[in-house]
C-alpha cells in the first residue's frame, strides 16, 4: 500500500511540474518574448525563410494581441488570441504602451485574418505614403536610395512550405542562381536597411495613402514579393495596422535553418546566429 501511495504521489507531483512549466511558459510567451519562425520571403534579405527569432513584447506594451494564438492544425487545435483576450479588444489602446519608431521590424496581428505577420514600419500616423516608380515617398519626399549590388540565392523550394523565390533574371530552374536588385534605403529619422527589387509592377506605383491616427503603414523589404499595407484589407491585403494589433519588435535572429525544419541542425546557417535585425 505504501508503495502504491508513493507512486501515486510521484505521479501527482509530475503532473504539477508539467502544469507549472506550461503556465510559466505561457506567461513568458504572453508578456516577455514570443518565438517567431519566418515562413516566407517577404522580408528578404533582412530576414530569410527559416530564420528563428524572439519578438520583444516589452517594446510596445500590451493589448489583446499580446495573447498568443495556439494553432495546431494537425491536432485540430485553433485557439485565437481573441478567444483568450478578446475582452480587451476594441479601444485601439495598450497597457504600458509606447510608440513604435519608423524603421522598426514589427510582428503584428493581421487586422482581418488574425494571423501573425512581420514587416517593416515605414509610415506613422498622419504620414502620406506613396510608391513612385519603385521608390518610397513619405510626405512627398523620396527616401534616400543607394545601389548595393545584387542579392543572390539558389533557386528551388525553400522552407517547410517549399516556396520558390521570384527572380529578376526570369524563371530559374532548381539549383540555378536567382538574382534580385539590392539597394540601401534610408528612412526619415536615419534608419537604413536593405530592400530588394525584382520587376516593375503595379505595387511600384500607387496612390497616396494617408495613415490614420493610431494606425501604421508597414511594408516588406522584398518589395515586389510582399503583401503589405499597399494592398487594402478588402483586396486581401494588410491595409493600415491598428496600434492595438502590434505584438512586438523583432530585434535579433537566434538561429536560421535553410532546410525544411528548424530541427535539421545540419542545415543551420552559421553566419546568422544572434544576428541583429536592422
Catalytic residues: 42, 119
Euclidean distance between CA atoms 267 and 247, whole angstroms: 29
3-state secondary structure of 276: strand
Q: Tell me the C-alpha to C-alpha distance, in Å, between residue 142 and each of 37, 129, 188.
A: 32, 10, 10
Euclidean distance between CA atoms 55 and 256, whole angstroms: 15
Q: How many CB atoms lie within 10 A of CB 252?
A: 12
The DSSP string of 151-210 is EEEE-S-BTTTTB----TT----TTSEEEEEEEEEE-TTS-EEEEEE----GGGS---EE
Q: Do 107 and 34 contact (CB within 8 A), yes or no?
A: yes
Euclidean distance between CA atoms 158 and 170, whole angstroms: 18
Q: Tell me the C-alpha to C-alpha distance, in Å, between residue 27 and each of 121, 198, 250.
A: 27, 42, 19
Amino acid at each position: 500500500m505504501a508503495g502504491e501511495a508513493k507512486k501515486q504521489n510521484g505521479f501527482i507531483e509530475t503532473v504539477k511540474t508539467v502544469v507549472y512549466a506550461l503556465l510559466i511558459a505561457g506567461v513568458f510567451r504572453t508578456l516577455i518574448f514570443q518565438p517567431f519562425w519566418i515562413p516566407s520571403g517577404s522580408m528578404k534579405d533582412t530576414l530569410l525563410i527559416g530564420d528563428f527569432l524572439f519578438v520583444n513584447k516589452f517594446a510596445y506594451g500590451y493589448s489583446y494581441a499580446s495573447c498568443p494564438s495556439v494553432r495546431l492544425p494537425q491536432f485540430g487545435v485553433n485557439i485565437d488570441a481573441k478567444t483568450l483576450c478578446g475582452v480587451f479588444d476594441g479601444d485601439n489602446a495598450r497597457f504600458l504602451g509606447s510608440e513604435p519608431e519608423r524603421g522598426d521590424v514589427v510582428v503584428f496581428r493581421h487586422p482581418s485574418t488574425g494571423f501573425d505577420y512581420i514587416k517593416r514600419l515605414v509610415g506613422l500616423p498622419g504620414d502620406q505614403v506613396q510608391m513612385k516608380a519603385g521608390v518610397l515617398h513619405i510626405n512627398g519626399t523620396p527616401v534616400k536610395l543607394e545601389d548595393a549590388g545584387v542579392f543572390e540565392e539558389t533557386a528551388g523550394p525553400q522552407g517547410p512550405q517549399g516556396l520558390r523565390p521570384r527572380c529578376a533574371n526570369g524563371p530559374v530552374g532548381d539549383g540555378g542562381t536567382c538574382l534580385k536588385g539590392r539597394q540601401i534605403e534610408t528612412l526619415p529619422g536615419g534608419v537604413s536597411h536593405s530592400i530588394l527589387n525584382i520587376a516593375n509592377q503595379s505595387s511600384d506605383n500607387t496612390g497616396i495613402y494617408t495613415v490614420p491616427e493610431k494606425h501604421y503603414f508597414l511594408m516588406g523589404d522584398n518589395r515586389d514579393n510582399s503583401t503589405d499595407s499597399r494592398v487594402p484589407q478588402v483586396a486581401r491585403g494588410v491595409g493600415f495596422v491598428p496600434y492595438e494589433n502590434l505584438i512586438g519588435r523583432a530585434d535579433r535572429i537566434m538561429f536560421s535553418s535553410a532546410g525544411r525544419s528548424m530541427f535539421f541542425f545540419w542545415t543551420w546557417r552559421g553566419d546568422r546566429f544572434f544576428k541583429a535585425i536592422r
